[in-house]
Amino acid sequence: MSDIAVHVDQVSKSFRMYKERNQTLKSTIMRGRRSVHEDFWALKDISFDVPAGSTFGLIGSNGSGKSTLLKCLAKIYFPNKGSITHRGKLAAMLEVGSGFHHELSGRENIYLNGSILGMSKKEISSKLDEIVEFSGVEQFIDQPVKNYSSGMYVRLGFAIAINVEPDILVVDEVLAVGDAEFQERCFKKFQDFKKAGRTVILVSHDMGSISTMCDHAAWLRQGELVQVGPAKSTIKAYLDSLSLESD
């Protein structure tokens, strides 16, 4: 297992989809029955391993279960069945501005977000200049983040997450918000991670980015694992399936 960073073992995750829902105790008594719902399985018996020191892509169409799986990895969601185990410290960046307080300044949010990710105040202070420089928001660092653009949110959030120096970095589609220069910086940072033996798990609809950045990939479709393996062959199989569907 020393060469495996993340082990996903028969993971299934469901959500309740309500058709009729009792909003109050009175409505429950008057109706004389419980709310009507059905289970929607967002993930169905997913199993694969993420090699340590790799950049691993999760691909698939909207609704395939990619983001649900990432949230299970980050322990935001917990599987109904199966398990996920990982080696080392894991940091996740799943949504624009997640962990930020809108009324606080960028500088204050660096300390807040860094502490959420497990850094001490001393560690954050030692890396403050590096975080601000990488984010490119120096001019606005003492302004409330509620005035930031979505791109500024992403750059600052990513700069904090990478400076936690996690063994595993989990990143959702949010990088698509950044401009070309920021994308290039991220690509270089992923290369640095790989050289240091760290692991990146990345979700993106940009197959060019996945092909360039990732060694391995897993393709999900409607909550099921279709294929896992080398990134280029997995991407090709996914794109071929889209071509067949459009014919």
What residue ranges define each of the domains in the chain, with the CATH number in brackets?
A: 4-246 (3.40.50.300)
Do residues 160 and 152 touch, judged by C-beta distance below 8 A? no
Residue 82: pLDDT band by 50, 70, 90 thresholds? very high
Q: Considering just the CA atoms, what is the radius of gyration of the chain in Å?
A: 20
169 closest CA partner among 60, 21, 55? 55
Q: Residue 4: which residues within 8 A CB-CB, separation 6 or more? A: 49, 50, 51, 52, 87
pLDDT at residue number 194: 85
Is the pLDDT confidence value at 19 over 80? no
Q: What is the pTM of this model?
A: 0.81
More confident residue, 37 or 148: 148
pLDDT at residue number 213: 86
Which phi and psi angles does 67 have, rounded to 5°?
-70, -35
Instruction: Tell me the sheet residues that pair with 51.
Output: 4
pLDDT at residue number 109: 94
pLDDT in tens, 111-164: 998 888 888 999 999 999 999 998 889 999 999 999 998 888 888 988 888 888
Residue 247: pLDDT band by 50, 70, 90 thresholds? low
3-state secondary structure 137-166: CHHHCCCEHHHCCHHHHHHHHHHHHHHCCC
pLDDT in tens, 198-241: 999 999 888 988 888 899 999 999 999 999 999 999 999 999 99
pLDDT at residue number 176: 67
pLDDT at residue number 175: 66
Stretch 93-110: mean pLDDT, rounded? 84
pLDDT at residue number 5: 95
pLDDT at residue number 243: 82
Q: How far is CA 133 from the centre of its chain?
A: 23
pLDDT in tens, 52-75: 999 999 999 988 999 899 999 988
pLDDT at residue number 26: 56
